Amino acid sequence: MSKHGRREANRLIRQQQLQEAKRKRSIRISAIAAGVLMLVSVGAYVVYTNTADTTHNVPQQANAAGTGIVAGSGPIKVEVYQDYLCPSCRAFHAAAEERLQAMVRENKITLTTYPIAILDRLSTNRYSTRSAAAAGCAADSGKFAQFSDALYDKQPAEGGAGYTDEELVNVGRSAGLGDPFASCVRDGTYSGWPGFATEESSRRGVTGTPTVFVNDKKVVPGQGQTITDAVFNAIAGS
């Protein structure tokens, strides 16, 4: 081999070695990046599950699962998942609540209402959670339905500030609730409860509000049908 040829061969080998080193480094960087991504995401999940509320108070009138407020003891089970900030819940409440309460009095249905909080992002002061917690306080004073009426009557708009705790106390007073209710709201007695009820609702497949179950079957309105009509159809068919 000529001197020139040998030099050329050495140059090629060096070039190949250089390229191989580059390739290895790029693989190593990718492996490290992948490892960091994996560690960070698993870490985030561990932190998330460990910071979740594990203890919370449950209103006295709640169902056995500690997730909703029960009224009546009729044979047909009607369960309503609602968020006090949700306009569709307000519409459903306005259209259906009176008839549902009448059915409770006639002992036709057992009505369980789940105040969940899926719209906290749509108020600047976590109104969904706080109003649901206050509803738990109202339940302790035996005025859950009256307080719900009052809340929907004065529903704040999405996107702004919902009522403060003090304003919720005043809404309660207008619904006939007294000092035990006021201190329950101010002390945040049930502030951890809506989060728990919401998580349990997710487990059950509730992905929006209002969601209604009649005898454990989720009511799905047909094309052009209102949820109110669908619910009363389902009750009539039970």
Q: Which is nearer to another protein, 41 or 124 (CB)?
A: 41
Query: Tokens for 42?
Result: 């698993």
Q: Which is nearer to another protein, 6 or 23 (CB)?
A: 23
204: DSSP letter: T
Per the rule left: phi > 0, alpha: psi between -120 and 50, beta: everything else, 176 is left
Considering the complex, what minimum distance in angstroms separates the CB of residue 175 from another protein?
26
Considering the complex, what minimum distance in angstroms separates the CB of residue 134 from another protein?
20
Element (H, E) at 56: none
- For residues 4-34, one letter each, b for 16 or more C-beta atoms within 10 angstroms of the residue's C-beta and e for the rest, the string is eeeeeeeeeeeeeeeeeeeeeeeeeeeeeee
Chain contacts with another protein (rule: CB under 8 A): 22, 25-26, 29-30, 32-34, 36-37, 40-42, 44-45, 48, 86-88, 91, 118, 120-121, 195, 198-199, 202-203, 205, 207-209, 226-227
Cα(169)–Cα(134) distance, integer angstroms? 8
Considering the complex, what minimum distance in angstroms separates the CB of residue 112 from another protein?
20
Contacts of 147 (CB under 8 A, 6+ apart): 134, 135, 138, 171, 172, 175, 177
Cα(161)–Cα(61) distance, integer angstroms? 29
Considering the complex, what minimum distance in angstroms separates the CB of residue 61 from another protein?
26
Considering the complex, what minimum distance in angstroms separates the CB of residue 6 from another protein?
28
Q: Which is nearer to another protein, 172 or 210 (CB)?
A: 210
Q: Which is nearer to another protein, 10 or 26 (CB)?
A: 26
Q: Which is nearer to another protein, 60 or 202 (CB)?
A: 202
| Side-chain-side CA neighbours of residue 199 (13 Å) | 12
Considering the complex, what minimum distance in angstroms separates the CB of residue 126 from another protein?
11
Q: Which is nearer to another protein, 85 or 175 (CB)?
A: 85
